[in-house]
Chains A and B, each alone.
Chain A
Amino acid sequence: MAAMALTRGLWLRHPRLVAAGHSFGGHVYTTAASVKPPQIQTDVNDTDRILNKPLESPDFFRLSELYSLQDLFNARVHLGHKKGCRHRHMEPYLFGCRLDQDIIDLDQTMEHLQLALNFTAHIAYRGGIILFVSRRRQFCHLVETTARNCGEYANTRYWQGGLLTNAHIQYGQGVRLPDLIIFLSTLNNVFQQHVGIRDAAKMNIPTVGVVDSNCNPSLITYPVPGNDDTPAAMNLYCRLFQIAVNRAKDKRKQMELLHSLTSAPTTNQ
């Protein structure tokens, strides 16, 4: 079952396999009529292994080494907005309030950031399309450069209404939508929630978002409570996401090389 689901997710290479062989629990039973060479089975097992290997360990890409609580503090990630701007749903993530300014709980941020980075890395490992979104003019160039360096995509400009929901008409038939959207700032220029969050929820696209104390974290799959106004904090996030994506892609290339090397002797027979 899992094998079939995975092959469907990848570009269909072996449609014949579905008809001629049945797989239960990883073993492949072939009918007498099929005269297939064995290399196809090793390929499927390879892709199986390549895709399942990272799921076996909690931090396969060792992303927790990239940052520490001290780094977050130095980058001023814990600074929120004033008490009056606080959003009701952000109260669980706040450590407290000092001189009317909200302080975000960095312990919770650490956990959420680990989950978000791990998720991003897994998506990048499986060749998914990642879209970086931020509507802050200060950091528009930074976010676009980050996306370019990762080999992923960015939208820091005016969000056209039907981008996700009307994509087939706006871009043409057969367009592929992003598999993950990362919001480096969930608000748009008029301090309302970005339209992309609602659209991604409509199109079943998971989202990662840096939520400040005046943002609504409800519709975001992996919220990361943290500051989105300071250049230091934004530089940190961009750096972390860039490293995570690049690491995941390099790891994927490594695994494919490894498996092609191990399976080459069997195919040459």
Chain B
Amino acid sequence: MLLIHTSSRPPQVQTRQICVSSVLHRKNLAAAGPEKFTTEFIQKQVEEFNIGKRHLANMMGEDPETFTQEDIDRSIAYLFPSGLFQKKARPVMKHPDEIFPKQRAIQWGPDGRPFHFLFYTGKQSYYSLMHDTYDKVLNIEMHQDRLRAKGLFSTDTKNISLGSSRWLIKEELEEILVETISDHDYMRFIKLMERMLSLPYSVIEEEFVLRFRRQLEVQSTKQVVPQLERDERGVAFSTTEGRRKTSNCSVVLRDCGSGHVSINGQDLLLYFPVLQDRQQLMFPLQFVGMLGRFDLECSVSGGGRSSQAGALRLAISRALLGFLSEGEMENMRQAGLLTPDPRVRERKKPGQEGARRKFTWKKR
């Protein structure tokens, strides 16, 4: 029998591992970074969401075609009532785009060449934005030079209206760029935009600038002026409510009166023997100078004498709004008559004697 010894090793030789280190097999969780979702996974989630939406609509007996997000929220709140205080902990059914954080897909093609020309900087979107902004600055300067050459340059040009808008905050900018930037980067971007706006002919890039500005919320709660009703005799009156600490009150302010005040059926002097409370009540009328013009019918409950007086004051000021002009209303707002006082009693905490007072500290 002839044994053929092969001197050269066959290609698929089994190399015996002498030792296996579990350290190498353990996943380096720190280096992996935040969990990444593939596009297929997100697409599957979107399909499941759409099918689930239709099922939910069927369950609630509504039309699957016209089932909006508010309907979904309402149905989920009905089917899964939750007493949890944290709104974010309650069951929610939203489109996957709102749940899964926006991520970047692979930045390079099959041949390995990255798509973006600033890929090797690390922060491609931010630096690309800076590059484009500087492009606009150069564009404006070129435009200015051309006008200067023709002799049509003038400094009194229309400026972009910026009064009612604010710059994007850093979080909003990060959302747009889908990448994190530092405070320093953000400052540099804002400075570059300010520099662009300081040029006289920045109007030509208005559309670009407005993309990075947000409208300021107009005085969040526009003062709701109560409706002036008329009774059988044609006299105007308004009914308002006010609150302070735990007191609630409602006031009916009638025009063409003589300054007569009744609270819970009683006279003013009887109900509020203390001068301070009566002053609080009269202050709004004295401020607008209509002391003897109105009649007051008030009903108040809860709280102590001072908080009842405060509640009444607020209700009277609100009732007066219907009889005043815009300027006087603004004056009242500035005086603080229209702001409800947010101070309420702070709870007592365990381990302390009161809300703030701690137990006496003993050295030993």
Task: Please report A residues at the B interface, Cβ cutoff 8 Å.
Answer: 11, 127, 129, 131, 141, 144, 147-148, 151-155, 157, 160, 163, 169-172, 174-176, 178
Query: Given A148, A172, A178, which contacts B106 in the complex, CB threshold below 8 Å?
Result: A172
Say whether B98 faces chain A, with CB atoms less than 8 Å apart. no
Within 8 A of A (CB), among B1-59: 31
Asked if B117 contacts A152 (CB within 8 A), the reply is yes
Q: How far is the CA of A131 from the CA of B278 in the complex (A)?
A: 80
Residues of chain A contacted by B31 (CB below 8 angstroms): 169
Residues of chain A contacted by B127 (CB below 8 angstroms): 157
Total residue contacts A-B, CB cutoff 8 A: 51
Residues of chain B contacted by A170 (CB below 8 angstroms): 122
Say whether B110 faces chain A, with CB atoms less than 8 Å apart. yes
Rounded to whole Å, the gap between the CB of B139 and the closest CB of chain A is 12
Rounded to whole Å, the gap between the CB of B110 and the closest CB of chain A is 7
Within 8 A of A (CB), among B313-337: none
Asked if B117 contacts A157 (CB within 8 A), the reply is no
Asked if A153 contacts B122 (CB within 8 A), the reply is no
List 12 contacting pairs A-B, 8 Å CB cutoff, sorted by A. Answer: A127-B113, A129-B113, A141-B131, A152-B117, A153-B118, A153-B119, A154-B120, A155-B118, A157-B127, A160-B122, A163-B122, A176-B114
Q: How far is the CA of A153 from the CA of B120 in the complex (A)?
A: 7
Query: Given A127, A160, A175, which contacts B111 in the complex, CB threshold below 8 Å?
Result: A127
Task: Please report B residues at the A interface, Cβ cutoff 8 Å.
Answer: 31, 106-108, 110-114, 117-123, 127, 131, 134-135, 138
Nearest residue (CB) in B for A177 is: B120
Query: Given B117, B122, B135, which contacts A147 in the complex, CB threshold below 8 Å?
Result: B117
Rounded to whole Å, the gap between the CB of A126 and the closest CB of chain B is 12
Asked if A144 contacts B113 (CB within 8 A), the reply is no
Q: How far is the CA of A195 from the CA of B113 in the complex (A)?
A: 23
Q: How far is the CA of A175 from the CA of B119 in the complex (A)?
A: 11
Q: How far is the CA of A141 from the CA of B114 in the complex (A)?
A: 20
Query: Given B113, B117, B134, B138, which contacts A176 in the complex, CB threshold below 8 Å?
Result: B113
Asked if A155 contacts B121 (CB within 8 A), the reply is yes
Residues of chain B contacted by A127 (CB below 8 angstroms): 111, 113
Given known pairs A169-B31, A172-B106, the reply for A11 and B111 (CB within 8 Å) is: yes
Residues of chain B contacted by A148 (CB below 8 angstroms): 117
Given known pairs A144-B131, A163-B122, A170-B122, the reply for A153 and B114 (CB within 8 Å) is: yes
Q: How far is the CA of A194 from the CA of B339 in the complex (A)?
A: 60
Q: How far is the CA of A154 from the CA of B122 in the complex (A)?
A: 11
Interface of A is mostly: loop
Q: How far is the CA of A54 from the CA of B138 in the complex (A)?
A: 40
Given known pairs A141-B134, A144-B131, the reply for A163 and B111 (CB within 8 Å) is: no
Shortest beta-carbon contacts, A-B, top 5: A176-B112, A160-B122, A155-B121, A148-B117, A155-B120
Rounded to whole Å, the gap between the CB of A139 and the closest CB of chain B is 12
Nearest residue (CB) in A for B111 is: A11
Query: Given A11, A151, A163, A169, which contacts B110 in the complex, CB threshold below 8 Å?
Result: A11
Q: How far is the CA of A108 from the CA of B232 in the complex (A)?
A: 106
Nearest residue (CB) in B for A127 is: B111
Q: How far is the CA of A176 from the CA of B114 in the complex (A)?
A: 8
Given known pairs A11-B110, A170-B122, the reply for A141 and B117 (CB within 8 Å) is: no
Asked if A163 contacts B120 (CB within 8 A), the reply is yes
Rounded to whole Å, the gap between the CB of B65 and the closest CB of chain A is 41
Residues of chain B contacted by A157 (CB below 8 angstroms): 121, 123, 127
Residues of chain B contacted by A154 (CB below 8 angstroms): 117-118, 120-121
Residues of chain A contacted by B123 (CB below 8 angstroms): 157
Nearest residue (CB) in B for A133 is: B120
Q: How far is the CA of A236 from the CA of B339 in the complex (A)?
A: 68
Q: How far is the CA of A153 from the CA of B117 in the complex (A)?
A: 5
Nearest residue (CB) in B for A196 is: B120
Residues of chain B contacted by A175 (CB below 8 angstroms): 108, 112
Rounded to whole Å, the gap between the CB of B3 and the closest CB of chain A is 26
Q: How far is the CA of A221 from the CA of B106 in the complex (A)?
A: 32
Rounded to whole Å, the gap between the CB of A218 and the closest CB of chain B is 24
Residues of chain A contacted by B134 (CB below 8 angstroms): 141
Rounded to whole Å, the gap between the CB of A134 and the closest CB of chain B is 12
Q: How far is the CA of A267 from the CA of B107 in the complex (A)?
A: 36
Residues of chain B contacted by A129 (CB below 8 angstroms): 112-114
Asked if B117 contacts A144 (CB within 8 A), the reply is yes
Q: How far is the CA of A178 from the CA of B119 in the complex (A)?
A: 11
Asked if A131 contacts B122 (CB within 8 A), the reply is no
Q: How far is the CA of A174 from the CA of B109 in the complex (A)?
A: 11
Residues of chain B contacted by A11 (CB below 8 angstroms): 110-111
Residues of chain B contacted by A163 (CB below 8 angstroms): 120, 122
Rounded to whole Å, the gap between the CB of B117 and the closest CB of chain A is 5
Residues of chain B contacted by A152 (CB below 8 angstroms): 117
Residues of chain A contacted by B113 (CB below 8 angstroms): 127, 129, 176
Residues of chain B contacted by A141 (CB below 8 angstroms): 131, 134-135, 138
Rounded to whole Å, the gap between the CB of A206 and the closest CB of chain B is 16
Residues of chain B contacted by A153 (CB below 8 angstroms): 114, 117-120
Q: How far is the CA of A127 from the CA of B113 in the complex (A)?
A: 9
Rounded to whole Å, the gap between the CB of A180 and the closest CB of chain B is 12
Residues of chain A contacted by B107 (CB below 8 angstroms): 171-172
Asked if B122 contacts A176 (CB within 8 A), the reply is no
Residues of chain B contacted by A169 (CB below 8 angstroms): 31
